[in-house]
Structure formats: structure tokens, C-alpha cells
Structure 1
């Protein structure tokens, strides 16, 4: 296959990926290109990977726009979802998530040292 044909297949797949909102299996089926080819190109071709990542960002933008539309329409679940994920500084939190990775590798062991707070000397003095 010539380089021109190869690039044309990549472009066809990228168009299918965009029209399927980034769903790889759907895009591969529509374009007649195998999933293994998609992942090979994604791994080996930096330009292709950047375009795929941009489509993924467009998908996220699309979904966020739907979320905000739901919030505008006073959909309670969407409001709660947004506050739980973006309102941490204001106390809207359901649980604490901690991402434990170092250089993209999972951390296998952590040590936690609990330090007692220093007591204010004025509160511990007896009158």
C-alpha cells in the first residue's frame, strides 16, 4: 500500500471517529479498518495520535455542553454531579479520590505518618 493510500485510510478513520463521537469500534466498522490498525497507528504515529486526542477533547466538550444544558433545565442529578466534581472547595464532596501514580506507574506502597497538631500554648495553660 502506498503512503498516499495509507494516509487516506487514516483520514477516513479519523472522519468516522469524529462522526461516532470517538467510539473506536464504531469508527473502525464504518471505515472498514481493523481496531488493531487503529491502535497500531495511535501508538506509532504521533500526528495521528494528536488528531485522535483532539477528537476525544471534542467529545468531552460535547458531553459537557449537554451537562450544562441539563443544569440550565434544572435537572437535579446533573446539578449534584457537577457540584460533587467541581465544587470541592465549597464542601460539595462525596468521597476523597487520590491518584497514586509516579511517572505513569502505579505506586505499590505508601507510608502515612500522622502528626498530632501542635497545641496552642494559651489554650493549654491553666488559670
Structure 2
């Protein structure tokens, strides 16, 4: 049952990531940095922070992996929605193209904004 929860949440998260990524790529076809995945990762980090703060404000890893709602939403949906692998690919592509400043900016913004928005969301919703 747990695998089904993760799988179903992951399928939904991946579809949402794909849709939002396409939306931003069509709206901003030649961004200075990969905006689509930056936005997806910040939205996903914020969503996961809101979810954890609301339902698991004093969470422990072992408790999370036993909770069906976390398996579906946290691990499945947000795990597939956010994408460190695409972030890695896009960073390497910028570096290969000799765009060191853009690569560093992309890395900095992705990490700073994702962690900041996650933390802020947890703080705002933690009971």
C-alpha cells in the first residue's frame, strides 16, 4: 500500500511539474537562467513546508515514513514535483556553455529561495 501511495503522489507531482515547466518555458522562452525549474523548485519547497508545518510540525523521519499522507503528499507528490536532477543538468549546461555567472546565480537563487521559502512556510503553519 505504501508503494502505491508514493507512486500515485509521484505521478501527480511529475505531471504538475511538467505542466508548470511548460507554462513558464512558453511564457519566457529565452530566460537568462532556467526560470521554469527555479519556479517549480521554489513552489515545491514552499508547498512541502506548508504541508509539513501544518500536519507534522514536530516531525521525525521515522514517523514521516509511517504516515500515509506523508508518503502520498510529501514523498510522492512533492518528491516528484521538485527536481534536483533537472537543476543539476541545467547548471552543468550553463557551465558547459561558459556561463559561469549565470550558473552561479541559478545555483544561489535555487538554494536560497527554496530553503528560505520552505523554512518560512513551516514557520507560518507550525502549530
The TM-score with structure 2 as length reference comes to 0.34
The TM-score with structure 1 as length reference comes to 0.34
Q: Which has the higher contact order (CA 8 A, sep 6+)?
A: 2
**Structure with higher helix content:** 2
